Amino acid sequence: MTAPLTLHNAHLRMRVDPQGGALLALFSLAHQQPVLREGEGNTAGDCGLFPMLPVANRVAGNRFSQRDTEVLLPNHHADAQFFLHGDGWLKRWAVEAVTDESCRLRLRSQHACGYDYLAQLRYELDASVLRVSLSITHMGNRPMLYGCGFHPFFAFAANSTVQFSASGYWPEGEDHLPLAWQRDIPEEADFTHAQYGADRWLNVGYSGWSGQAVIRHDVMNVTISAQTPWLMLFRMSGQSFLCLEPQTHPVNAHHMPGQPGLRLLGAEESCHFAMQIRVD
């Protein structure tokens, strides 16, 4: 069993756990402050960041239609109803390469429903920027719909604010699935202007995201960038973190007209997704 890897440069230090392909910590040496919440990896999701694949978040009924065929997603121990965030965050990744400032992890996963993939995950420190990239190659004979994303837990205190653009959002409904999209965003979920927001449960998705969000602290700014119009925001009352989750598709896209953002991959076809976290 491979122990967590501690990687660093002159600006940032991170701990990477092959279990779940997770970041246990990302710390700014220049500011002497955590960028992500620190976890021990004792349970699934007890970390600062994990990858979501081959689906992001939840799919209604834990099933979807693909070319007139119903795909029944598997169950796992992290959720009683859903193939929540897929299985990449629950499995142990193999370490392929390590340097002082970067590492590359590999995961092979197969399910009876048709998901059969090879994934590569790379974490790299580049001066004051963390670069995270994910590649998924479908290995099965039958094509499958793929999606992915990243689930970071940013350190977020009472003196912090977050700001990003959006054209509308999906409020949260039953079983944490989205309700109908709406253009009008209520104040507590509207971060087009910088604010801390309400200290309460919030679990919503945004469309029309510009691909950039900024968290400001007293002495440190954190900028999140990804090439996607979809962003998920999650927070819990009384907790000192805020999740901003870039995803290749909106939550429950499998049941939306046109299945936006999802990729149908044939044998040995691949999809790619990347995110950057810059600390100033």
User: Measured between alpha carbons, how far is residue 213 from residues 16, 85, 128, 130, 164 in Å?
Assistant: 24, 22, 16, 15, 5
Alpha carbons 43 and 46: distance in angstroms, whole number: 5
Rounded Cα–Cα distance for residues 261 and 256 (Å): 10
This prediction's pTM:
0.97
Q: What is the pLDDT of residue 163?
A: 98
pLDDT value, residue 77: 93
180 pLDDT tier (thresholds 50, 70, 90)? very high
Return mean pLDDT, the chain.
97
22: number of Cβ within 10 Å: 27
Residue 112 pLDDT greater than 80, yes or no: yes
The SS3 of residue 268 is coil
Cα angle, residue 48 at apex, residues 276 and 84 outer, rounded to 5°:
95
Residue 1 in this model has a pLDDT that exceeds 70: no
Residue with tokens 């710390």: 27
Identify residue 88 by its one-letter amino acid code.
Answer: G
pLDDT of residue 7: 98
| Per-residue model confidence as pLDDT tens digits over 128-175 | 999 999 999 999 999 999 999 999 999 999 999 999 999 999 999 999
Buried b or exposed e, range 171-182, using 16+ CB within 10 angstroms: bbeeeebbeeee
